[in-house]
Amino acid sequence: MTEQMNKQADDTATDQAVLEVIEGAAEQATEQRDLSSEASIALVESREAIAVTEPVEELPLDLKAPELYINRELSHLQFNIRVLEQALDESHPLMERLMFLLIFSSNLDEFFEIRVAELMAQLKYGRESVGPDALHPQAVMNRIGEICNAQVERQYKILNETIFPQLENENIHFQRRRDWTDEQKEWIRVFFEEKVQPVVSPIGLDPSHPFPRLVNKSLNFIVELDGKDAFGRESGLAIIPAPRSLPRLIRLPDNLCDGGDNLIFLSSIIHEFADEMFPGMKVEGCYQFRITRNADLTFDSEEVEDLARTLRGELHSRKYGAAVRLEVDKRTPENLIRFLLREFSLDEAHTYRVDGPVNLTRMMALRDLVDCKHLCWKPFTPGMSGRYKQKNIFDVLRQKDQLLHHPFESFSPVVDLLRQAAKDPKVLAIKQTLYRTGVNSDIVDALVDAARSGKEVTVVIELRARFDEESNLQLASRLQEAGALVVYGVVDFKTHAKMMLVVRREEGKLVRYAHLGTGNYHSGTARLYTDYSYMTSDADVGEDVHKIFQQLTGMGKILRLKKLHNAPFTLHSRMIEMIEREARHGKHGHIIVKINGLTEPQLIRALYQASQKGVKIELIVRGMCRLRPGIEGISENISVRSIIGRFLEHTRVYYFGNKGKPDVLCSSADWMERNMLNRVETGFPLTGKLAERVKSDLDLYLADNSRSWMLHSDGSYTLNKPEEGEELISAQETLLSQFGS
């Protein structure tokens, strides 16, 4: 096969054919995008704006050729843009469309805090590294700037020209300063004097008052002043940091308004009364801005003696990391923007001029300030089988294994397993991993109760779950105070596996009950994220989970597992083996993988090789995907789609057809380098009816023609639509109707 491919590399005609296929796929996808009205125009413009690379010029027969790989960061941006597209989808309730627009801001914040910060650090310190796509970090940065500037401008246009007017039609009003009545202005003045002015500390800039250290993502104002103060100073500039304790949205009293819900921004109040913060001086201009900083926590693992203490020290520094982005009101004079850029050691490429509030994510409070139930998704009650309502859950699991699909099915049985274990005198020990849970949760309450009742409770807490570090430190303290044994896993390998083990004495012997999941032990996200929960009393599975806990809490060689596969030891190699097995089946091979990210090069190359053998490969990848589908001779048998809907798709499922004897695994791991090689993860097999059920779910997602986006070989996506006369299918809505109420 290799010799044949090398001969083909010299065949110019074949090269040109592949080029035409890639270009043709992009053109055909654009032509098919005949969505109506504004959404259609926006989607087409978005597609043109976010193509990752130009089509390849030559046939890349070497499966390591950079032309075969999409850049990770640019693919990540595409996911965020697909989220933004939901703000234009009129099939979503209006308030949910606004939430999608705000989630885009939140996602972009993290993208800059982590991904862009890493690229900037590489360039600053001369340690540039390239991925399999071979794009230099500076080229990636340039493309990020182009894409983000275009999409942020588009985001504010959607907010100002679509969302705000439609909220107005629903009697939800954002009052501008020019529209305040005298009565409203007087109420706002009192609010300023009583609630705002006492906690605001304006800072005049002069040699004794240098530019302040501003907290990451905080709302601030730069003020132009005219005149001298009481000490004769006339620097002409001041900074007003808006305290985070103040709400960004304030509801006006109903008796001062003509009806509906009326709100004003904190920024409007500060603008209106800026003069009063600088008595005797004239405010020539007041402009809001926000700085985004590097928020990644880094430390030398070889020098860490106490991980918890090290993290506590690093958390404070996160607020003041190196600046990576400046957002300013687009009306800010250029001389002030240049001044801010100098202060933050940034240049024009890192500047975003916005037409509205610079801290949009704080607008999420709107949902709690107005009566908008009719503008939100209809509430639902997750399904709950009668088998869990009356019986002891240990009796249920002794009869047969259980599989739950959240949020369509309730997370309560998982919590009940722990609650019953905490109270059951037959239960001797409980072991649990926690990644993102929260200090105050049903899961933690049950663990605390179990520890206080004298059971052996061991909890592996991953302190380094990004942006949950502080919460996890508090969680660790609470569990330790209750008497639980708390460990933090392995310093160089994040513990991302979702495992619970209950050891119970039954009829003179010890029986293990296990829970394994694709998502976190968090009752809140269990209503927002799609995940699988697997509960079993299978002895082999229980023993495997026990061995993994041994590796996490103790020390020793790799332990051989009977049924589970675990990273960083066996999961990656097992996936390669199973892909290669399907490749040997050729056209009879079938692979379906549903994950959140696909970036690991070895797995991608294995999929390319399987495609070349004729294997049908269907990938459902919510976010980042480095693989290019649809390249003749390489990946024409691979399709990639992304589902974006009401719930965040979070399940990780691997299906291998194996000529009618399929292997089905669920896992905590995405197909990314960090998951397969640098984290503790689990992959657990399902058999019988449980495997059939998961396969049925996968088929439903593959049939989705309303919430799925197809990835093209040029790196762009298009929204799937039903053909004329074809039934509209939404996987999430179908599952919700099957299980929820």
DSSP, residue by residue, 440-489:
SSHHHHHHHHHHHTT-EEEEEE-TTSTT-HHHHHHHHHHHHHHT-EEE--
Structure tokens at 570: 């066996």
Class of residue 245 by CB neighbours under 10 A (exposed 0-12, middle 13-18, buried 19+): exposed
Model confidence band, residue 555 (pLDDT cutoffs 50, 70, 90): confident
Structure tokens at 614: 């004729």
- More confident of the two residues 665 and 226: 665
Q: Mean pLDDT throughout 657-663? A: 96
Rounded CA separation 318/311 (Å): 10
Half-sphere exposure of 685 (CA within 13 A, CB side): 18
Phi-psi region of 720 (alpha: psi -120 to 50; beta: other; left: phi over 0): beta
Q: What is the reported pLDDT for 391?
A: 76
Of 231-235, 618-622, 671-675, the one with minimum mean pLDDT is 231-235
Query: 410-425 as b/e, with b when 16 or more CB fall inside 10 Å?
Result: bbbbbbbbbbbbbebe
Q: What is the reported pLDDT for 589?
A: 97
Q: What is the reported pLDDT for 306?
A: 53
- More confident of the two residues 14 and 238: 238
CA separation (Å) from 216 to 184, 199, 325, 357, 690?
A: 33, 19, 10, 16, 46
- Asked if residue 550 has pLDDT above 70, the reply is yes
Model confidence band, residue 5 (pLDDT cutoffs 50, 70, 90): very low
Q: What is the reported pLDDT for 295?
A: 85
Rounded CA separation 118/125 (Å): 11
Peptide bond into 132 cis (omega under 30): no
Residue 427 phi/psi, 5° resolution? -80, 125
Strand partners, 680: 495
Q: What is the reported pLDDT for 387?
A: 77
Q: What is the reported pLDDT for 41?
A: 34
Rounded CA separation 325/290 (Å): 8
Q: What is the pLDDT of residues 88-130, one digit of tens each?
A: 999 999 999 999 999 999 999 999 999 999 999 999 888 888 9
Rounded CA separation 331/410 (Å): 49
- More confident of the two residues 196 and 557: 196
In this structure, CATH architecture of domain 565-739: 2-Layer Sandwich (3.30)
SS3 103: helix
Q: What is the reported pLDDT for 4?
A: 41
pLDDT > 70 in the chain, percent: 86
Domain residue limits, the chain: 21-156, 172-371, 387-553, 565-739
Q: DSSP state, 571?
A: H
Q: What is the CA radius of gyration of the chain?
A: 28
Q: What is the reported pLDDT for 46?
A: 38
Model confidence band, residue 11 (pLDDT cutoffs 50, 70, 90): very low
| CATH fold group of domain 21-156 | Methane Monooxygenase Hydroxylase; Chain G, domain 1 (1.20.58)
Rounded CA separation 3/10 (Å): 12
DSSP, residue by residue, 207-235:
TTBPPP-PPTT-EEEEEEEES--TTS---
* CA proximity to 662, closest of 716, 608, 589: 589
- More confident of the two residues 401 and 300: 401
Instruction: Answer yes or no: same fold for 172-371 and 387-553.
Output: no
Rounded CA separation 282/270 (Å): 15
Q: Mean pLDDT throughout 453-479? A: 82
Rounded CA separation 674/684 (Å): 19
SS3 616: strand
Residue 413 phi/psi, 5° resolution? -60, -30
Element counts in the chain: helices (H) and strands (E):
24, 27
- Asked if residue 433 has pLDDT above 80, the reply is yes
Q: What is the reported pLDDT for 468?
A: 65
Q: What angle do helix axes 442-452 and 469-482 make, rounded to 10 degrees?
A: 30
Q: DSSP state, 383?
A: B
The shares of helix, strand and coil residues in the chain, as percent rounded to the nearest 5, are 45, 20, 35
Asked if residue 394 lies in contact with residue 504, where contact means CB atoms within 8 angstroms, the answer is yes
- Asked if residue 6 has pLDDT above 70, the reply is no
Model confidence band, residue 60 (pLDDT cutoffs 50, 70, 90): very low
- Mapping DSSP onto H, E and C, the string for 331-376 reads CCCHHHHHHHHHHCCCCHHHEEEECCCCCHHHHHHHHHHCCCHHHC
Most confident range, picked from 14-18, 67-71, 201-205, 556-560: 67-71
* CA proximity to 579, closest of 719, 676, 446, 481: 676
Q: What is the reported pLDDT for 474?
A: 82
Q: Mean pLDDT throughout 452-472? A: 82
SS3 56: coil
Rounded CA separation 664/437 (Å): 27
Q: What is the dihedral of CA 393, 394, 396, 402, to 10 degrees?
A: 80
CA separation (Å) from 26 to 175, 558, 620?
A: 44, 47, 20
Asked if residue 379 lies in contact with residue 289, where contact means CB atoms within 8 angstroms, the answer is no
Model confidence band, residue 54 (pLDDT cutoffs 50, 70, 90): very low
Q: Mean pLDDT throughout 378-392? A: 84
Which segments of 526-672 does DSSP mark as H helices, in order? 539-553, 571-585, 601-612
Task: Kindly report the length of the chain.
Answer: 741
Q: What is the reported pLDDT for 229?
A: 62
Cβ neighbours, 10 Å, residue 438: 20
- 638-643 and 616-621 strand pairing: parallel
Q: What is the reported pLDDT for 39?
A: 37
Q: Is 496 a catalytic residue?
A: yes
Q: What pTM value is reported for the model?
A: 0.88
Q: What is the reported pLDDT for 524?
A: 85
Q: What is the pLDDT of residues 120-161, one digit of tens each?
A: 999 988 888 899 999 999 999 999 999 999 999 999 999 999
Q: What is the reported pLDDT for 234?
A: 63
Active-site option among 92, 405, 496, 590: 496
Q: What is the reported pLDDT for 385?
A: 81
Structure tokens at 35: 């969505």
Rounded CA separation 116/110 (Å): 9
Strand partners, 370: none
In this structure, CATH architecture of domain 172-371: 2-Layer Sandwich (3.30)
Q: What is the pLDDT of residues 257-283, one digit of tens each?
A: 999 999 999 999 999 999 999 888 889
**CA angle centred on 259, ends 254 and 262, rounded to 5°:** 60
Cβ neighbours, 10 Å, residue 240: 20
Strand partners, 383: 409
Asked if residue 736 lies in contact with residue 65, where contact means CB atoms within 8 angstroms, the answer is no
Q: Mean pLDDT throughout 352-365? A: 94
CA quadruple 488, 492, 494, 497: dihedral sign: negative
Q: What is the reported pLDDT for 209?
A: 72
Q: What is the reported pLDDT for 707?
A: 96
- Tell me which H or E stretch contains 59: none
Q: What is the reported pLDDT for 525?
A: 86
- Asked if residue 393 has pLDDT above 70, the reply is yes
CATH number attached to the domain at 387-553: 3.30.870.10
Which segments of 1-89 does DSSP mark as H helices, in order? 2-9, 12-32, 37-49, 72-85
- More confident of the two residues 241 and 5: 241
Q: Mean pLDDT throughout 638-646? A: 97
Q: Mean pLDDT throughout 546-569? A: 91
Q: How far apart are the first and last CA of the chain?
A: 55
pLDDT > 90 in the chain, percent: 73
